Amino acid sequence: MVRDGSRSVKTPSDRTEKREKTKTSRCLPIYLRKKKKVEERFITMLIQRALSRARVPSTSRYFSSLSSIQMQTINLPKSPPFSFSSNNHGCNFLKSKPSSVSSPYSTAAFSLGKSNRKGVVPLAALLQIGGVQIATDDVVKENDPTNNVPDSIFAKLGMQLHRRENHPLGILKKTIYDYFDINFPGKFEKFDDLCPIVTVKQNFDDVLVPPDHVSRSYNDTYYVNSDTVLRCHTSAHQAELFRNGHTHFLVTGDVYRRDSIDGTHYPVFHQMEGVRVFSPEDWSGSDMDGTAYAAADLKRSLEGLAKHLFGAVEMRWVDTYFPFTNPSYELEIFFQGKWLEVLGCGVTEQAILHASGRTDIVAWAFGLGLERLAMVLFDIPDIRLFWSSDERFTSQFSEGKLGVKFKPFSKFPPCYKDMSFWINDGFTENNLCEIVRGIAGDLVEEVTLIDNFTNKKGMTSHCYRITYRSMERSLTDDEINELQEQVREAVQNKLNVVLR
């Protein structure tokens, strides 16, 4: 099958298959259950979630679910580049400490501190993002059952790849800015330094994600504590920006999701949110109501963006569901022989606007995956490459050079290791992937379920194939064997499964 960790390279049958798969993967991580003391409120919340999981409205693990597809091929010249600007908003979560950074373009500043608890990767002990200082212990709390952020994820906080001018994501961000500046001169405000640590209210409640929605689970989202998360989408900033009166804006940032492992999914990736507000005078001269007017403008604007980025590209619209928009759509682009989902969008639910004190307006919104678009644009075959500091990768990209195609410096051989075990009720693929990623880091290319059966006693066995491959060098047998041994031990100890 074409794999889709719930949202990318998908066919309708894949989606059905994934749906079946995710039904079984909505349990809480076992390590949470093993922690001794859990606040009563928290237990109640977990029980409510577990009970309500059967009623989850979305068929994919995050926000969207498929309904129908319209095909379309775009073949028009690209528009010329243009200049851009950026804004800064602080982080309004946790105990925000005053920042020493005054520049509105503050890049995250690192001060390297103690090595992490496992003594493997030196972690930044203190970060500054969006003008706020964040210490390791603010985000990674090993003995707190309400926290599931591992060191490997904390290590990515503050990297802000989208703010690096010569990085493919920075080049792409600027090109999208150019498109909006050319077509809506002076209209769209840009935010690319908003803090990724947000409240549960911002991430979910403010955008109408139902209390029992699967995306809220500890299996899918990184929780700093029961009220605070690493944002899992840039939509987390919508409501606040509406409240503050913004009507045209682009929000770019790193987002975090517990997920499966393959070439188009990574637990940290980058999104750009776009929002445009219309007032009654905008649609009164047309023969459409506000919603139809906004939907038409949205599709036109995004098709224009696709033309600006790619010139000719085969793409299709897919009707879908998001809690925060209606109607809702996804845009897919044909890439490397498969349909790749690159963005979700729709007409903003009135309840979001009303809650922000805006009653007579209509808005459209989109959230696009920067890595997905950059993979198509620069021919980057694997999402891990975006994190590479290998000069053979980084030196291939420079500001303003959009058409450059990535030249793989070498294709190193993969090494496959299979692992079978009897699963338990709490087993989820995301927990497995996090363990594998925590040990093997970016040396793991893919984790795939290759066998699944239940015996007469009702015990279920899973066999996973782990593909190890470095993007930068050949791996030795000894190195892989040692990693695999560590993975087996950790899987057995942390997931309480029985290896076969």
What is the binding site for Mg ion (CB under 5 A)?
Answer: 7, 64, 344
The pattern of x and - marking residues 31 through 70 that bind ligand FA5 according to CB under 6 A reads: -------------------------------xxx------
Give which of 392, 421, 419, 418 is closest to 407, Cα–Cα.
392
Identify each DSSP E strand in 83-241 by its residue range. 111-115, 122-129, 132-135, 189-191, 197-199, 223-225, 228-230
Q: Which amino acid is at 48?
A: Q
Minimum distance between the CB of residue 280 and ligand FA5, rounded to whole angstroms? 22
8 A C-beta contact, residue 197 and residue 93: yes
Q: Which of residues 354-373 bind ligand FA5 (CB under 6 A)?
A: 365-367, 369, 371-372
| Residue in this structure with the two tokens 């950790």, named with its chain if needed | 490
Based on the shown chain and the rule CB under 6 A, indicate whether residue 346 belongs to the binding site for ligand FA5: yes
Minimum distance between the CB of residue 234 and ligand FA5, rounded to whole angstroms? 7
CB neighbourhood size of 312 (10 A)? 12
Minimum distance between the CB of residue 261 and ligand FA5, rounded to whole angstroms? 10
Which tokens is 468 given? Answer: 């190890």
| Residue in this structure with the two tokens 């990318």, named with its chain if needed | 8
The secondary structure of 23-78, three-state, reads HCCCCCCHHHHHCCCCCHHHHHHHHHHHHHHHHCCCCCCCCCCEEEEEEEEEECCC
Q: Of the two residues 65 and 133, which places its CB atom closer to ligand FA5 in the complex?
A: 65
Pick what 262 binds: Mg ion, ligand FA5, none; C-beta below 5 to 8 Å, kind-dependent. Answer: none
Based on the shown chain and the rule CB under 6 A, indicate whether residue 385 belongs to the binding site for ligand FA5: no
Contact range with ligand FA5 by CB under 6 A, out of 18-26, 100-108, 258-266, 484-492: 258-266
Q: Of the two residues 315 and 497, which places its CB atom closer to ligand FA5 in the complex?
A: 315
DSSP 8-state class, residue 193: -
DSSP 8-state class, residue 165: T
Pick what 257 binds: Mg ion, ligand FA5, none; C-beta below 5 to 8 Å, kind-dependent. Answer: ligand FA5
Based on the shown chain and the rule CB under 6 A, indicate whether residue 257 belongs to the binding site for ligand FA5: yes
Site for ligand FA5 (CB under 6 A): which residue of 198, 251, 345, 361? 345
Distance CA 332, CA 71 (A): 9
How many residues make up the chain in this entry?
500
Q: For strands 325-335 and 338-348, give the pairing.
A: antiparallel
Point out the residue whose Cβ comes nearest to Mg ion. Answer: 7
Q: Which of residues 305-324 bind ligand FA5 (CB under 6 A)?
A: 322, 324
Q: Of the two residues 5 and 290, which places its CB atom closer to ligand FA5 in the complex?
A: 5
How many residues touch ligand FA5 under the rule CB under 6 A: the total is 29
Pick what 199 binds: ligand FA5, Mg ion, none; C-beta below 5 to 8 Å, kind-dependent. Answer: none
Minimum distance between the CB of residue 398 and ligand FA5, rounded to whole angstroms? 24
Site for ligand FA5 (CB under 6 A): which residue of 233, 237, 307, 469? 233
Give which of 247, 306, 260 is closest to 72, Cα–Cα.
306
- List Cβ neighbours of 410 (8 Å cut-off, separation of 6 or more): none
Pick what 335 binds: Mg ion, ligand FA5, none; C-beta below 5 to 8 Å, kind-dependent. Answer: none
Interface contacts to ligand FA5, rule CB under 6 A:
5, 7, 62-64, 233, 235, 257, 259, 265-266, 269, 271, 273, 322, 324-325, 341-346, 365-367, 369, 371-372
